[in-house]
Chains A and B, each alone.
Chain A
Amino acid sequence: GENVEQHPSTLSVQEGDSAVIKCTYSDSASNYFPWYKQELGKRPQLIIDIRSNVGEKKDQRIAVTLNKTAKHFSLHITETQPEDSAVYFCAARWEYGNKLVFGAGTILRVKS
Protein backbone atom coordinates (compact mmCIF):
# COMPACT_ATOMS: atom_id res chain seq x y z
CA GLY A 1 0.00 0.00 0.00
CA GLU A 2 0.87 3.69 -0.04
CA ASN A 3 3.05 5.28 2.63
CA VAL A 4 3.53 9.03 3.07
CA GLU A 5 6.28 10.61 5.16
CA GLN A 6 6.11 14.28 6.15
CA HIS A 7 8.83 16.62 7.48
CA PRO A 8 9.35 18.53 9.64
CA SER A 9 6.97 17.59 12.43
CA THR A 10 7.12 21.13 13.83
CA LEU A 11 8.13 24.39 12.17
CA SER A 12 8.44 27.84 13.70
CA VAL A 13 8.87 30.89 11.50
CA GLN A 14 8.79 34.63 11.99
CA GLU A 15 5.83 36.49 10.54
CA GLY A 16 6.58 37.45 6.95
CA ASP A 17 9.04 34.61 6.39
CA SER A 18 8.41 31.61 4.15
CA ALA A 19 7.59 28.08 5.31
CA VAL A 20 8.23 24.84 3.45
CA ILE A 21 6.83 21.41 4.32
CA LYS A 22 8.00 18.33 2.46
CA CYS A 23 6.42 14.92 1.84
CA THR A 24 7.55 11.74 0.15
CA TYR A 25 5.34 8.92 -1.06
CA SER A 26 6.03 5.28 -1.88
CA ASP A 27 3.51 4.26 -4.56
CA SER A 28 4.68 5.48 -7.96
CA ALA A 29 1.12 5.02 -9.25
CA SER A 30 -0.24 7.75 -6.95
CA ASN A 31 -1.63 10.59 -9.07
CA TYR A 32 -3.24 13.08 -6.71
CA PHE A 33 -1.73 14.98 -3.79
CA PRO A 34 -3.87 17.27 -1.61
CA TRP A 35 -2.83 19.42 1.33
CA TYR A 36 -5.12 19.97 4.32
CA LYS A 37 -4.97 22.60 7.05
CA GLN A 38 -6.36 21.92 10.50
CA GLU A 39 -6.75 24.72 13.01
CA LEU A 40 -6.87 23.88 16.70
CA GLY A 41 -10.08 22.03 17.56
CA LYS A 42 -11.38 22.23 13.99
CA ARG A 43 -11.81 19.83 11.12
CA PRO A 44 -9.17 19.41 8.34
CA GLN A 45 -9.88 21.53 5.27
CA LEU A 46 -8.39 21.33 1.80
CA ILE A 47 -6.15 24.29 0.94
CA ILE A 48 -4.51 23.20 -2.32
CA ASP A 49 -3.98 20.07 -4.38
CA ILE A 50 -1.94 18.90 -7.36
CA ARG A 51 -2.24 16.12 -9.90
CA SER A 52 0.65 14.06 -11.18
CA ASN A 53 0.62 15.65 -14.64
CA VAL A 54 1.38 19.07 -13.15
CA GLY A 55 4.72 20.17 -11.65
CA GLU A 56 3.62 23.25 -9.74
CA LYS A 57 0.42 24.99 -8.68
CA LYS A 58 -0.03 28.33 -6.95
CA ASP A 59 -2.90 29.98 -5.13
CA GLN A 60 -2.03 33.41 -3.76
CA ARG A 61 0.50 32.86 -0.95
CA ILE A 62 0.56 29.08 -1.14
CA ALA A 63 2.10 26.81 -3.75
CA VAL A 64 2.70 23.12 -4.15
CA THR A 65 5.46 21.48 -6.20
CA LEU A 66 5.66 17.87 -7.30
CA ASN A 67 8.70 15.84 -8.36
CA LYS A 68 7.38 12.53 -9.71
CA THR A 69 10.83 11.07 -10.34
CA ALA A 70 11.87 11.57 -6.73
CA LYS A 71 8.35 10.88 -5.44
CA HIS A 72 8.16 13.95 -3.31
CA PHE A 73 5.99 17.04 -3.11
CA SER A 74 6.20 20.22 -1.06
CA LEU A 75 3.98 22.97 0.29
CA HIS A 76 5.33 26.52 0.20
CA ILE A 77 3.74 29.36 2.15
CA THR A 78 5.13 32.84 1.53
CA GLU A 79 4.70 35.98 3.64
CA THR A 80 3.43 33.93 6.56
CA GLN A 81 0.83 35.44 8.88
CA PRO A 82 -0.26 34.47 12.41
CA GLU A 83 -3.47 32.95 10.98
CA ASP A 84 -1.33 30.45 9.06
CA SER A 85 -0.52 28.79 12.40
CA ALA A 86 -2.12 25.33 12.24
CA VAL A 87 -1.37 21.69 11.55
CA TYR A 88 -0.79 20.89 7.89
CA PHE A 89 -1.25 17.41 6.40
CA CYS A 90 -0.11 16.15 3.05
CA ALA A 91 -1.80 13.15 1.45
CA ALA A 92 -1.53 10.87 -1.55
CA ARG A 93 -4.29 9.03 -3.34
CA TRP A 94 -4.07 5.25 -3.43
CA GLU A 95 -3.95 3.69 -6.87
CA TYR A 96 -7.39 2.15 -6.41
CA GLY A 97 -10.46 3.86 -5.11
CA ASN A 98 -11.12 7.30 -3.71
CA LYS A 99 -8.81 6.70 -0.76
CA LEU A 100 -6.14 8.98 0.69
CA VAL A 101 -3.09 8.17 2.81
CA PHE A 102 -2.03 11.06 5.04
CA GLY A 103 1.31 12.17 6.37
CA ALA A 104 1.76 12.55 10.13
CA GLY A 105 1.31 16.31 10.01
CA THR A 106 3.40 19.46 10.57
CA ILE A 107 2.65 21.94 13.34
CA LEU A 108 3.37 25.39 11.93
CA ARG A 109 3.80 28.27 14.35
CA VAL A 110 4.06 31.78 12.99
CA LYS A 111 5.55 34.16 15.54
CA SER A 112 4.58 37.81 15.38
Chain B
Amino acid sequence: DAGITQSPRHKVTETGTPVTLRCHQTENHRYMYWYRQDPGHGLRLIHYSYGVKDTDKGEVSDGYSVSRSKTEDFLLTLESATSSQTSVYFCAISESKVSLAGYNEQFFGPGTRLTVL
Protein backbone atom coordinates (compact mmCIF):
# COMPACT_ATOMS: atom_id res chain seq x y z
CA ASP B 1 0.00 0.00 0.00
CA ALA B 2 1.12 3.55 -0.74
CA GLY B 3 2.28 5.48 2.33
CA ILE B 4 -1.07 6.90 3.40
CA THR B 5 -2.41 6.94 6.93
CA GLN B 6 -5.62 8.31 8.34
CA SER B 7 -6.39 9.29 11.91
CA PRO B 8 -8.41 8.53 13.81
CA ARG B 9 -9.55 5.23 12.32
CA HIS B 10 -12.77 5.25 14.31
CA LYS B 11 -14.63 8.07 15.99
CA VAL B 12 -17.97 8.48 17.70
CA THR B 13 -19.14 12.00 18.36
CA GLU B 14 -22.29 13.93 19.14
CA THR B 15 -24.33 16.21 16.91
CA GLY B 16 -23.07 19.77 16.93
CA THR B 17 -19.47 19.01 17.88
CA PRO B 18 -16.52 19.86 15.62
CA VAL B 19 -14.53 16.97 14.16
CA THR B 20 -11.21 16.95 12.30
CA LEU B 21 -9.93 14.00 10.32
CA ARG B 22 -6.30 13.81 9.25
CA CYS B 23 -4.73 12.30 6.17
CA HIS B 24 -0.96 11.91 6.10
CA GLN B 25 1.15 10.77 3.14
CA THR B 26 4.82 9.94 2.77
CA GLU B 27 4.79 9.75 -1.06
CA ASN B 28 5.20 13.48 -1.76
CA HIS B 29 2.23 13.33 -4.16
CA ARG B 30 0.74 16.62 -5.26
CA TYR B 31 -2.96 15.70 -5.29
CA MET B 32 -4.96 14.71 -2.23
CA TYR B 33 -8.67 13.94 -1.98
CA TRP B 34 -11.35 13.35 0.63
CA TYR B 35 -14.24 10.99 -0.19
CA ARG B 36 -17.15 9.70 1.79
CA GLN B 37 -18.55 6.21 1.22
CA ASP B 38 -22.19 5.40 1.89
CA PRO B 39 -24.23 2.35 0.86
CA GLY B 40 -25.86 2.89 -2.52
CA HIS B 41 -23.77 5.97 -3.30
CA GLY B 42 -20.29 4.64 -3.93
CA LEU B 43 -17.48 7.07 -3.26
CA ARG B 44 -18.33 10.76 -3.44
CA LEU B 45 -15.71 13.48 -3.58
CA ILE B 46 -15.94 16.05 -0.78
CA HIS B 47 -12.90 18.27 -1.41
CA TYR B 48 -9.57 17.89 -3.07
CA SER B 49 -6.20 19.65 -3.08
CA TYR B 50 -3.82 20.23 -5.97
CA GLY B 51 -1.01 21.69 -3.86
CA VAL B 52 -0.19 23.36 -0.57
CA LYS B 53 -2.93 25.85 0.24
CA ASP B 54 -4.69 25.00 -3.06
CA THR B 55 -8.06 23.31 -2.56
CA ASP B 56 -11.37 23.02 -4.37
CA LYS B 57 -14.84 21.63 -3.77
CA GLY B 58 -16.11 18.26 -4.88
CA GLU B 59 -19.61 16.86 -5.30
CA VAL B 60 -20.70 16.95 -1.65
CA SER B 61 -18.77 19.76 0.02
CA ASP B 62 -21.55 21.37 2.09
CA GLY B 63 -20.79 21.13 5.82
CA TYR B 64 -17.11 20.32 5.25
CA SER B 65 -13.95 22.38 5.06
CA VAL B 66 -10.35 21.38 4.35
CA SER B 67 -6.86 22.69 4.83
CA ARG B 68 -3.47 21.77 3.48
CA SER B 69 -0.56 23.62 5.03
CA LYS B 70 2.03 20.97 4.18
CA THR B 71 2.41 18.60 1.23
CA GLU B 72 2.03 15.56 3.47
CA ASP B 73 -1.09 16.53 5.44
CA PHE B 74 -4.68 17.12 4.34
CA LEU B 75 -7.24 17.87 7.04
CA LEU B 76 -11.01 17.48 6.75
CA THR B 77 -13.12 19.42 9.27
CA LEU B 78 -16.78 19.08 10.10
CA GLU B 79 -17.49 22.38 11.83
CA SER B 80 -20.69 21.13 13.46
CA ALA B 81 -21.26 17.42 12.89
CA THR B 82 -24.71 16.16 11.91
CA SER B 83 -26.10 12.62 11.80
CA SER B 84 -26.13 12.77 7.99
CA GLN B 85 -22.33 12.95 8.13
CA THR B 86 -22.12 9.48 9.64
CA SER B 87 -20.04 7.67 7.04
CA VAL B 88 -16.73 6.08 6.16
CA TYR B 89 -14.24 8.70 5.01
CA PHE B 90 -11.40 7.84 2.66
CA CYS B 91 -8.42 9.95 1.77
CA ALA B 92 -6.67 9.38 -1.56
CA ILE B 93 -3.53 10.67 -3.23
CA SER B 94 -2.19 10.84 -6.77
CA GLU B 95 0.94 12.06 -8.48
CA SER B 96 0.97 15.09 -10.73
CA LYS B 97 3.45 13.99 -13.37
CA VAL B 98 1.67 12.34 -16.26
CA SER B 99 2.40 8.64 -16.32
CA LEU B 100 2.86 6.50 -19.41
CA ALA B 101 -0.85 5.75 -19.17
CA GLY B 102 -1.61 9.46 -19.38
CA TYR B 103 -3.28 9.49 -16.02
CA ASN B 104 -2.22 8.76 -12.48
CA GLU B 105 -3.82 6.19 -10.23
CA GLN B 106 -5.46 7.34 -7.04
CA PHE B 107 -4.24 5.43 -3.99
CA PHE B 108 -6.59 5.21 -1.04
CA GLY B 109 -5.93 5.35 2.66
CA PRO B 110 -7.38 2.81 5.14
CA GLY B 111 -10.47 4.90 5.92
CA THR B 112 -12.04 6.49 9.00
CA ARG B 113 -15.39 5.33 10.31
CA LEU B 114 -17.25 8.31 11.79
CA THR B 115 -20.48 7.97 13.75
CA VAL B 116 -22.43 11.08 14.70
CA LEU B 117 -25.05 10.42 17.38
Contact = CB atoms under 8 A, between A and B. Distances in A.
Interface of A: 1, 6, 9, 32, 34, 43-46, 49, 51, 89, 91, 93, 97-105
B42 A46 contact: no
Given A34-B105, A43-B111, A104-B40, A99 B1 contact: no
Interface in B35-68: 35, 40-45, 48, 50, 56, 58-59
B109 A93 contact: no
A32 B94 CA distance: 14
B42 A104 contact: yes
Nearest to A52: B102
A7 to B, nearest CB: 13
B90 A44 contact: yes
Given A32-B102, A32-B103, A104-B41, 16 more contacts: A43-B90, A44-B90, A49-B101, A49-B103, A51-B101, A98-B31, A98-B48, A98-B50, A98-B103, A99-B45, A100-B45, A101-B59, A102-B35, A102-B44, A103-B42, A104-B40
Among B1, B103, B105, B110, max chain A CB count under 10 A is at B103
A8 to B, nearest CB: 13
Contact of A97 (B56, B102, B109): B56
A44 B43 contact: yes
A11 B104 CA distance: 29
Contacts of B90: 43-44
B56 A43 contact: no
B103 A45 contact: no
A99 B43 CA distance: 12
Contacts of A43: 1, 90, 108-111
Contacts of A51: 101-103
Nearest to B44: A102
